[in-house]
Amino acid sequence: MPIVELPRTGPADLEELEGKLAADPAGLNYTTLQCVSSMFADVDQAVLRALDQMFARWPELGLRLYSAIGREPVNVSGLASLPNLRHLKLHYSIPALVDVAPLCALTHLETAELEVHAAYPLGDVLEAWPKLRKLSLIREGKASKAVDLSGLSGLAMLQDLYIMGYDKGIGALADCHALRRLTLQSLKLPSWDELPVQKMEFLQLNAVKGPDPVPFAALLDRADDVRFIRMDRDLPFKRDSALSKVSRDGWFVVHIDYLNGFFDDERSGHDWADVLQKACPPPEGVAFDPEAGSFSVIGTREDLVRYQERVVPALAALVQA
């Protein structure tokens, strides 16, 4: 299925696309409707009407506005003509928005990904999106940090959230009671208690800072799958001293001599295998290979890399206890 680039596409092209989707509905997964954001104002009204009808018939289709020609504020008024749109991406640091009113017209929106360089009234936008289930808010480079996250507290259906670089009003996370998946990257929490109170399916913290040392043990209880990335400096031990790198042949070593230094008793490789079996059970495809004086973990390289992301905070929690 093609990438459909607006505004070059006309109603006849969209009709042809619908014919292809009808013949192969699986093509929805490979179809992208997109437009350079600064050219979106040039999309003809007839095309916008045809698009909106498509979004009504194919609700999984989404629209991607990306980048810009120049750094002038972008006019996205055409979005107001797409009330049936459910999936929207504003990508690659759109400079600024002339007006957020067109975004507020998308009252059926279910997923959104926003990367806008200048500040904008995010609270007004989120208030207009009561059906939102998945949201990504991305700040890169020197983009404004003034975007206020307080409006997150009103999203009663939000289940999946990714925030990069924004932390103003982040205390609203505690009110996101439906949230099941949360990723925070490159930001600072005023308190670790700002995280949602309910247990989630997935929690990932990537280069996140707080006022106190990271409470790894407590955070491991906040989700079924917890991952810490680029937070090794906060760990009570050195990752490279605890684990070897994953080899190309599919194994890594748990350095039990180093870990034993944190405890009064001397534990064998078998003992540490038992400890990790309880603290961080290996997934299918990953197996333990302990001996009296050593402990290796074997599997595919990809599986082992993912498993190490879970093992590090689990070991940190054990050392902290």
CATH number at residue 263: 3.30.1360
Instruction: Look at 93-97, 113-117, 273-277, 301-305 and tell me which has the smallest mean pLDDT.
Output: 93-97
Residue 158 has pLDDT above 60, yes or no: yes
Q: Tell me, what's the pLDDT at 233? A: 65
Domain stops at, among 234, 268, 297: 234
Domain stops at, among 205, 234, 263: 234
- Mark whether 73 and 202 lie in a shared domain: no
Assign 232 a pLDDT band (cuts: 50, 70, 90): low
- Mark whether 283 and 204 lie in a shared domain: no
- Mark whether 125 and 163 lie in a shared domain: no
Cβ within 8 Å of residue 269, ≥6 positions away: 254, 256, 290, 291, 292, 293, 294, 295
Q: Tell me, what's the pLDDT at 134? A: 98
Q: Tell me, what's the pLDDT at 2? A: 74
- Mark whether 38 and 158 lie in a shared domain: no
- Mark whether 10 and 102 lie in a shared domain: yes
Which among 48, 26, 24, 33 is positioned nearest to 3, based on CA atoms? Answer: 33
- For the chain, what percent of residues have pLDDT higher than 90? 64
- Mark whether 7 and 74 lie in a shared domain: yes
| 101-129 average pLDDT score | 96
- pLDDT tens across 290-303, in order? 999 899 999 999 99
- Mark whether 223 and 179 lie in a shared domain: yes
> Can you give the residue range of the structural domain that contains 152?
148-234
- Mark whether 123 and 158 lie in a shared domain: no
Q: Is 109 exposed, middle or buried (0-12, 13-18, 19+ CB in 10 A)?
A: buried
Residue 118 has pLDDT above 80, yes or no: yes
Q: Tell me, what's the pLDDT at 321? A: 67
Residue 40 has pLDDT above 80, yes or no: yes
Domain stops at, among 234, 264, 299: 234
- Mark whether 220 and 136 lie in a shared domain: no
Query: Side-chain half-sphere of 191: how many Cα atoms within 13 Å?
Result: 8
Q: Tell me, what's the pLDDT at 230? A: 76
Q: Tell me, what's the pLDDT at 133? A: 98
Higher-confidence residue of 193 and 30: namely 193
Structural domains counted in the chain: 3
- Mark whether 9 and 135 lie in a shared domain: yes
Q: How many CB atoms lie within 10 A of CB 108?
A: 17
User: Peptide bond before 7: cis, by omega within 30 degrees of 0?
Assistant: yes
Residue 7 has pLDDT above 90, yes or no: no
Report the chain's mean pLDDT, rounded to a whole number.
Answer: 91
- Mark whether 85 and 190 lie in a shared domain: no
- Mark whether 191 and 263 lie in a shared domain: no
Q: What CATH number corresponds to the domain at position 82? A: 3.80.10
Residue 29 has pLDDT above 60, yes or no: yes
Assign 220 a pLDDT band (cuts: 50, 70, 90): confident
